[in-house]
Chains A and B, each alone.
Chain A
Amino acid sequence: MAEAELKALSETIQNRFGPHVLSLEIANDELTLEVDPEFLLEACLALKNEPSFKFEMLMDLCGVDYLEYGVSEWSTTQSTSEGFSRGVEVAFPEASKASETLENSEVSEVSTSKTLKTSWQKPRFAVVYHLLSLTHNHRLRLKTFPKADFAASIDGEHSQDSYIRVPSVIEIWNSANWYERETFDLFGILFDGHPDLRRILTDYGFIGHPFRKDFPLIGTVEMRYSAKNERVIYEPVSIEPRTLVPKVIRDDNRYL
């Protein structure tokens, strides 16, 4: 989309939503609007129906977990002589309880050395909507950061758990149905008003939300056929987590 069109659309949005706009920026030829979850439905309705927006289609809806945003696995600015150990350093020991049951304790010994220094200021989770208008041929990225809702927990035992809730846009765009189920499945974000919020991609009876950054890549359980029991059984994973290539972040202009 042309630069001028983007600016015009951005101004229209600013004028229409005024104080509700938490941020509105143009980057990489794309417009991103951030609103509060409480204002989300109102904004979506306006964006879909008002003649100057006419976003008839919701192309994509997904969650993002910003827990490790800007955290590198290997800092090489000071010294490179120490090398990189391929054993994964677990940044979130509480999340990897399952791996502690393993006999191999070496992994968890190394694991404490990684410190979490994310520069992320906003809430941990985001829900991102990609809207498309066929009438005006423009796109918009709509973002909302739901806050963890501790008060909503009903069960006394699980009062540590928080519920992350966003209103469902399924009434506005019907295509949100499966996307919201997917986001719930992978990130554990709850969509208020969704009629059928079940898991969709993971296995029947799966525990956890695999796309959260504190969920190990190798998972927590593995499945095999047990000849003794004559059925398929689940066991804690027996493989060690490994990092093949460390994540590095270079701000150095030589690299770009």
Chain B
Amino acid sequence: MADIQNYTLNFGPQHPAAHGVLRLILELDGEVIERADPHIGLLHRATEKLAESKPYNQSIGYMDRLDYVSMMCNEHGYVMAIEKLLGVKPPIRAQYIRVMFDEITRILNHLLWLGAHGLDIGAMTVFLYCFREREDLMDCYEAVSGARMHATYYRPGGVYRDLPNQMPKYKPSRWHNKKEVNQMNTNREGSLLDFIWDFTERFPKRVDEYENLLTDNRIWKQRTVGIGVVSKERALQLGFSGPMLRGSGVEWDLRKKQPYAVYDKLDFDIPVGKEGDSYDRYLVRIEEMRQSNHIIRQCVEWLRQNPGPVMLPDHKITPPSRVAMKGDMESLIHHFKLFSEGYCLPPGEVYVAVEQPKGEFGVYLVSDGGNKPYRLKIRAAGFAHLAAFDEMVRGHMIADAVAIIGTQDIVFGEIDR
């Protein structure tokens, strides 16, 4: 009898379940995966090298494009690294705004993850539910920065502008008459904060809806329970962070353990998993959405009561106001120098880590005293997670490979950089 040999299967580079451009070489024994070799780099843009050729501020926009579903959290890491090397602290109101948008971003990310992960393993409905809520949060991004995704809102020294006092409204069109538009605009009558507050009132019920669809769903459990189990020891050894680490039962969250911005002033809990399988990671992320909602509410309350500056008045690193610039020579020079040459950082190196929705987002910045970074290294959470893919997927079926890609919350913008 002839030997039955293993065969290799090419998965991707373009595959609907690959969450971007991932190419997997799977070595199969029947339908069981013996070895997986992810080929990455198909989205490599050399962000770090590009950053070396531009002044600091011009690279903030690149940070949005790293993990393009958690845009503002990436910006936060980068601007914090610059601020740390400059030795400045942004105004307290700016820090609250940052934290609020970090958490909005976390919900955005987890919603996309939940929808896409559900879609991958056969739950179509939840995708539509998740995108309904994402729309509202995208509107918050748009209201504050003008862009729905790539905001470039955080700047060294604060955030670019204060929260708007009114939300943009829908206008009647061929598709929506006046009555419908009035209906759609009901929660847009007040300021952005009112809109966000209204969202946080609704959101916990929406999370219940997702849970109704999935948590006790037999098919969902069959696809996730006991899939991609990672023990505590292995999770540490493999450099996991974020929900991947917490799903394995390690209570570690930078927002609590090494608090940055104003996280030490806010009340929230860290959910931790027990088994370290896909289902636990799902539960952790669901609970994180509830906690983020709780944090956003605290920020909204604080921001309503405490007006103030959102940018440092130091015009060596932040632009002067438009009005001042038109009348004052000094301001004009500051403006010109800032937007042409930028500012110089003192020589030195820093490593700043923030708890981004996917895990630890680290920025290692080396400066030689110039107006451009000498070396910028971005530590992307997904990179370490995908590196562990081979280990997680061994012995599982092909269909589980998709479930494991899903549970890792992979985004290629940050892995390939």
Contacts and interface: CB of A to CB of B under 8 A. Distances in A.
Nearest to B45: A201
Contact of A245 (B342, B384, B417): B342
A45 B116 CA distance: 41
Contacts of B54: 244-245
A59 B238 contact: no
A98 interface: no
B344 A249 contact: yes
B257 A30 contact: no
A201 B40 contact: yes
Contact of A128 (B343, B364, B416): B364
Interface residues of B, number: 56
B258 interface: yes
Interface string B52-82: 0111001000000000000000000000000
Contacts of A164: none
Interface string A148-159: 000000000000
A134 B248 CA distance: 14
Contacts of A203: 41
Contacts of B237: 56, 173-175
Interface string A60-86: 101011001110100000000000000
Contact of B239 (A59, A64, A141, A210): A59
A248 interface: yes
Contacts of B236: 56-57, 134
A99 to B, nearest CB: 16
Contact of A217 (B50, B342, B351, B369): B50
A222 B343 CA distance: 33
Interface string B128-142: 000000000000000
A76 B117 CA distance: 55
B348 interface: yes
A202 B44 contact: yes
B351 A141 contact: yes
Interface stretch (B101-109, B211-219, B375-383): B375-383
Interface string B226-246: 000000000011110100000
Contacts of A210: 46, 49
A251 interface: yes
Contacts of A29: 84
A174 B85 CA distance: 31
B340 interface: yes
Contacts of B84: 28-29
Contact of B375 (A30, A56, A65, A141): A65
Contacts of A255: 316, 343-344
Interface string A40-53: 00000000000000
A214 B79 CA distance: 28
Contact of B362 (A60, A64, A178, A211): A60
Interface string B277-292: 0000000000000000
A201 B344 contact: no
Contacts of B384: 175, 178
Interface string B375-405: 1010100011011100000000000000000
Contact of A202 (B41, B316, B348, B370): B41
Interface string A224-255: 00000000000000000001110111110001
A250 B337 CA distance: 13
Given A173-B239, A177-B387, A62 B368 contact: no
A256 interface: yes
A134 B252 contact: yes
A166 interface: no
Given A58-B239, A202-B44, A248-B371, A256 B387 contact: no
Given A178-B384, A255-B316, A57 B239 contact: yes
B41 A134 contact: no
Nearest to B44: A201
B374 interface: yes
A120 to B, nearest CB: 9
A126 B393 CA distance: 34
Contact of A62 (B40, B347, B377): B377
A-B pairs, 3 with minimum CB distance: A175-B239, A201-B41, A178-B387
Interface of B: 40-41, 44, 46, 48-50, 53-55, 58, 84-86, 236-239, 241, 250, 252, 257-258, 316, 340-344, 346-351, 353, 360, 362, 364, 366, 368-372, 374-375, 377, 379, 383-384, 386-388, 416-417
Interface of A: 1, 27-30, 32, 56-60, 62, 64-65, 68-70, 72, 128, 130, 134, 137, 139, 141, 173-175, 177-179, 199-203, 210-211, 217, 243-245, 247-251, 255-256
Given A60-B379, A245-B341, 8 more contacts: A32-B349, A58-B239, A59-B353, A59-B360, A60-B377, A173-B239, A174-B238, A174-B239
9 contacts: A28-B84, A32-B349, A59-B241, A178-B387, A200-B40, A200-B41, A211-B49, A247-B371, A256-B346
